[in-house]
Homo-oligomer: A and B are copies of this chain.
Amino acid sequence: MKNIIIASTSTIHGGEYLEYLLPELSKHFKNCKTILFIPYARPSGITHEEYTAKASLAFAKINIAVKGIHEFENATSAIENAEGIFTGGGSTFVLVNELYRNNIMTVLSQTIKKGTPYLGTSAGSVICGLSMQNTNDMPIVYPPSFQTTGVIPFNINAHYLDPDTQSKHMGETRETRIKEFHAYNTIPVLGLREGSWLDVKGSKILLKGNLSARLFRQNQVAEEIESETDVSYIK
């Protein structure tokens, strides 16, 4: 049975890394002594070691050890044998590129579908969708494909941001960009605001956190989804 937390962000304003999620994570990973960390997204370009140390520090607060996937000789078996898996945020392009380069996109998808508890934040959440095409990140590397794990049947826009009505900036709003996506694609997109997450248990997908989320579908007006809604109907 799938057991996944898909969080918009690792950190909310004024909080520590993962702090707001720790009570959830304590339950989510309750049978894990050690979880596998995938640090490939390298936020601000930090190393795999530095990023793993950061994740370790947060998980130490709930008595869970963290081991980086780069510490294993065989990334595939590291995933297959993990008690739990966490993929951190950073650059979705770098993350997806590394998952393909290490030939583990498929095994990651299969392992999550089999029920290994998984946590994604930001880029680590984007890869839960069918494709990474609704990332906000800059295309700083060229991945061999935009397809991701598809452990949920729609796409995620993390750090979803409402249009700033006071802004004099003429660049596209997030909503405009997602509408452009739907000029060429039919995949629904769920905009998850910072502090929101999806709790996936088997075929049930609950929206959690205090905020509503914004659902975008091709040729339809965007709609607000309230917290605690089962969004497993979206496909």
CB within 8 Å for A140 and B181 given contacts A44-B176, A176-B44:
yes
Number of copies: 2
Tell me the residues in window 109-134 of chain A with beta carbons closer than 8 Å to chain B beta carbons.
132-134
- A94 contacts the other chain (CB 8 A): yes
Known: A43-B180, A142-B145. 15 other contacts (CB 8 A): A45-B183, A45-B184, A94-B180, A94-B184, A134-B138, A136-B172, A137-B172, A138-B178, A140-B180, A140-B184, A141-B184, A142-B146, A161-B169, A169-B194, A170-B194
Range, interface on chain A: 35 or more
- In terms of DSSP, what is the predominant structure of the interface of chain A? loop
CB within 8 Å for A170 and B180 given contacts A136-B138, A139-B139:
no
Binary interface profile of A, 16-40, with partner B (CB < 8 Å = 1, else 0)? 0000000000000000000000000
- Once the chains are docked, how many angstroms separate the CA of A153 from the CA of B65? 47
B136–A9 CB distance below 8 A: no
Q: Point out the residues of chain B lying under 8 angstroms from A142, CB to CB.
A: 145-146
